[in-house]
């Protein structure tokens, strides 16, 4: 941290952290959220924790759960990994585009277990939607999870079925999900999160088979700040024979 601060030049930001420090140092209004007395760093790091760490780790947990509960999906995904990457070579981000089934599996995890099930916005001006008057500054809640399991939009919405995102030629068809938001204010960390999840899951499945301690009848999670995974123990069995081949 000391090296980082010593290399910093005021008003010449290299990144978001530099820009935030410049803003704090330049703010004299004590009521501003950027004033040094307002402990801006605390909510900043809370935002980073929730947005960059909690959401990705939650998806990792859900992915392991679904793969353990649906062995046929796990086996097909392992077969794709063996064909595209192999069982010894470390996966790299560029491999993902050649793995349509992996992409379908990840989207199905996102559909049934969005890390943030709701989006919160504020109406910036008085408006009318479908005959309903919405006042300025009204809280707008977007139900991502409800959209992802809407029976009018999805066939068998409660069933974990990655094949729904593959066409007749087994090519990946990107769905209209709201996992990372939508439009100009969509999540800036989407690419990093997808890459991290790809490396994490493919590396594990190269080396292990995943089994559940018990089969679960209910895979609905718990609503907290995000959408917490069902508590379930899993067993990782080394795939030594496959790796040696």
For CATH 1.10.630.10, list the domain ranges present in the chain: 41-244
Rg (CA), the chain: 22
The phi, psi pair for 196, rounded to 5°, reads -65, -45
Q: What is the pLDDT of residue 95?
A: 96
Q: What is the pLDDT of residue 172?
A: 97
Cα-based distances in Å from 25 to 6, 36, 37, 76 = 16, 7, 11, 55
Read off the pLDDT band of 85 (50, 70, 90): very high
Helix (H), strand (E), coil (C) string for 144-200: HHHHHCCCCCCCCCCCCCHHHHECCCCCECCCCCCCCCCHHHCCCCHHHHHHHHHHH
Average pLDDT over residues 84-98: 94
Q: What is the pLDDT of residue 109?
A: 97
User: Helix axis angle, 100-112 relative to 71-84, nearest 10°?
Assistant: 140
Ranked by mean pLDDT, the top range of 5-19, 22-36, 87-101, 110-124 is: 87-101
pLDDT tens for each residue of 173-205 = 998 888 888 777 788 788 889 999 999 999 999
Nearest in space to 117 (alpha carbons), one of 141, 94, 89, 101: 141
Nearest in space to 136 (alpha carbons), one of 147, 125, 121, 128: 125
The pTM score is 0.78
Helix (H, G, I), strand (E, B) or coil at 198: helix
Q: What is the pLDDT of residue 41?
A: 66
Asked if the 41-244 domain carries CATH number 1.10.630.10, the reply is: yes
Which tokens hold the place of 173?
């068809």
pLDDT tens for each residue of 9-55 = 999 999 878 888 888 889 888 888 777 776 666 666 666 666 667 78
DSSP string, 76-125: HHHHHHHHHT-SSSPP-GGGGGG-HHHHHHHHHHHHHS-SS-EEEEE--S
pLDDT tens for each residue of 143-170 = 888 999 999 999 999 999 999 999 999 9
The phi, psi pair for 221, rounded to 5°, reads -90, -165
Distance CA 107, CA 104 (A): 5
Q: What is the overall mean pLDDT for the chain?
A: 88
Q: What is the pLDDT of residue 40?
A: 64
**How many CA atoms lie within 13 Å of 228's alpha carbon, on the beta-carbon side?**
6
Average pLDDT over residues 87-112: 95
């Amino acid at each position: 941290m000391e090296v980082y601060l010593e290399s910093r030049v005021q008003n010449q930001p290299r990144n978001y952290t530099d820009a935030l420090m410049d803003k704090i140092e330049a703010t004299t209004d004590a009521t501003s959220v950027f004033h040094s007395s307002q402990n801006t760093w605390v909510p900043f790091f809370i935002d980073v924790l929730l947005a960059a760490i909690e959401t990705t780790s939650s998806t990792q947990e859900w992915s392991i759960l679904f793969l353990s509960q649906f062995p046929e999906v796990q086996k097909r995904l392992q077969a794709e990994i063996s064909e595209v990457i192999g069982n010894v070579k470390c996966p790299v981000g560029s491999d993902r585009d050649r793995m349509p089934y992996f992409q379908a599996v990840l989207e199905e995890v996102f559909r049934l277990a969005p890390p943030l099930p709701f989006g919160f916005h504020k109406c910036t001006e008085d408006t009318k939607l479908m005959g309903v008057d919405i006042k300025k500054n009204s809280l707008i809640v977007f139900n991502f999870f409800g959209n992802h399991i809407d029976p009018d939009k999805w066939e068998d919405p409660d069933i974990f079925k990655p094949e729904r995102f593959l066409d007749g030629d087994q090519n990946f068809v990107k769905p209209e999900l709201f996992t990372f938001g939508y439009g100009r204010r969509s999540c800036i960390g989407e690419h990093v999160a997808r890459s991290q999840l790809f490396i994490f899951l493919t590396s594990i499945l190269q080396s292990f088979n995943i089994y559940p301690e018990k089969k679960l009848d209910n895979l609905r999670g718990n609503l907290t700040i995000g959408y917490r995974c069902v508590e379930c123990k899993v067993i990782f069995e080394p795939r030594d024979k496959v790796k040696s081949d």
